[in-house]
């Protein structure tokens, strides 16, 4: 277990460092032609690698870090029970979005995020939905157990809060990543919100609610307790990725989305994290093995959950 934790923290550190390295390349090196001429051969090779694969690497490192954490803390069932619907549902939404304009609006990805599935969606995109979505969801899930014994409240609240937290990150990331000097995607029909349609955020919220809801149902089939869960890694993942998006936005002169993200994303997740540090109610035991009780936990039937 100790060795697993060391590996987990190593991937987390590498994830954060790779984002920082990418920021240096995008924001400091590329806009300054004179600086490029001063680079050593090694520096030019490193920059070329960063521009060609930096976006892919940091997403892969984040995915691995969260996967190890999920396996170590929550177990194989709950790791895969969240990852598989997160990846499959978000990929479906992205494929629909890039081919039909629903649910996000009309856009297409450029070449900076790696191999594209069906020539439309980089394989790294659904991975980012997973590792950021998981981080947001588990913090909300554990924190709500400290304030209520109602499982319906916990489940529905975690889905809603997790979706809000994930969408708030996109508020900050999307404008910057589509308008930087080296954009990663392009809006074919620019919208009113810093070049993005408001539909984009409805799509993000709906997609997040859908895969978090499916994952919640899957989690109900295997008993588990949610007390004493370590949340340092998911918090670090969320805040570091938010910081990456913030710096990109600041460099592009985009400020309003940052304020929205701070209010709807960073502040709530810090409050939720602090709530999660208090002692959970002893009655918070998740588990039953049938679909009937799973639907009851969502408040779809009137029976009291004991």
Query: Which tokens go with 35?
Result: 């600086």
Work out the percent of the chain whose per-residue pLDDT is above 70. Answer: 82
Distance of CA 257 to the CA centre of its chain: 17
Q: For the residues of 250-274, what is the DSSP string, one character each?
A: HHTT--HHHHHHIIIIIHHHHHHHH
Mean pLDDT for 1-10 is 91
SS3 117: strand
pLDDT at 192 over 80: yes
Residue 55: its pLDDT value, please? 77
Residue 206: its pLDDT value, please? 98
Surface-to-core class of residue 18, CB atoms within 10 Å of its CB (0-12 exposed, 13-18 middle, 19+ buried): buried
Residue 178: its pLDDT value, please? 84
SS3 85: helix
Tens of pLDDT, residue by residue over 233-281, are: 999 999 999 999 999 999 888 999 999 999 999 999 999 999 998 855 4
Rounded to whole angstroms, the Cα distance separating 212 from 197 reads 24
Domain layout of the chain by residue ranges: 75-297
SS3 286: strand
Q: Is the peptide bond before 103 cis (omega within 30 degrees of 0)?
A: yes
Rounded to whole angstroms, the Cα distance separating 239 from 28 reads 22
pLDDT class for 190, splitting at 50, 70, 90? confident
Q: Which residues pair with 124 in a beta bridge?
A: none
Q: Give the strand pairing for 121-122 and 116-117.
A: antiparallel
Surface-to-core class of residue 243, CB atoms within 10 Å of its CB (0-12 exposed, 13-18 middle, 19+ buried): middle
Residue 302: its pLDDT value, please? 43
10 Cβ neighbours under 8 A, 6+ residues apart:
none
pLDDT at 143 over 90: yes
Mean pLDDT, all residues of the chain:
86
Residue 1: its pLDDT value, please? 73
Strand ranges, E, within 160-237: 185-187, 224-225
Distance of CA 303 to the CA centre of its chain: 34
Check residue 122 and report its DSSP letter. E
Tens of pLDDT, residue by residue over 93-142, are: 999 999 999 999 999 998 878 899 999 999 999 999 999 999 999 999 99
Query: Which tokens go with 51?
Result: 């521009």
Long-range CB pairs of 118-123, under 8 A, 24+ apart, other chains included: 120/94, 120/95, 121/91, 121/94, 121/95, 122/56
Residue 50: its pLDDT value, please? 57
């Amino acid at each position: 277990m100790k060795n697993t934790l060391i590996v987990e923290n190593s991937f987390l550190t590498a994830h954060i460092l790779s984002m920082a390295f990418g920021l240096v390349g995008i924001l400091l090196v590329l806009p300054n032609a004179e600086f490029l001429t001063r680079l050593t051969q090694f520096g030019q090779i490193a920059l070329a690698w960063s521009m060609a694969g930096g976006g892919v690497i940091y997403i892969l490192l984040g995915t691995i870090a969260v996967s190890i954490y999920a396996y170590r803390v929550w177990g194989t069932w709950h790791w895969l029970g969240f990852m598989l619907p997160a990846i499959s549902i978000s990929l479906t939404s992205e494929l629909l979005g890039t081919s039909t304009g629903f649910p996000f609006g009309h856009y297409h990805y450029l070449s900076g995020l790696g191999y594209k599935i069906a020539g439309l969606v980089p394989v790294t995109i659904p991975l980012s939905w997973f590792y950021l979505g998981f981080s947001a969801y588990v913090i909300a899930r554990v924190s709500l157990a400290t304030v209520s014994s109602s499982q319906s409240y916990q489940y529905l609240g975690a889905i809603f809060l997790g979706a809000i937290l994930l969408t708030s990150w996109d508020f900050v990331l999307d404008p910057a990543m589509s308008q930087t000097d080296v954009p990663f995607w392009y809006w074919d029909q620019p919208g009113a919100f810093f070049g993005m349609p408001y539909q984009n955020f409805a799509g993000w919220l709906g997609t997040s609610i859908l895969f978090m809801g499916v994952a919640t149902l899957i989690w109900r089939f295997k008993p588990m307790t949610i007390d004493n869960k370590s949340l340092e890694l998911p918090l670090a993942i969320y805040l570091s990725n938010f910081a990456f998006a913030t710096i990109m936005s600041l460099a592009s002169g985009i400020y309003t989305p940052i304020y929205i993200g701070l209010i709807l994303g960073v502040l709530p997740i810090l409050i939720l994290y602090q709530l999660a540090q208090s002692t959970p109610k002893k009655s918070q035991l998740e588990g039953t093995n049938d679909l009937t009780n799973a639907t009851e936990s969502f408040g779809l039937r009137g029976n009291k959950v004991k």
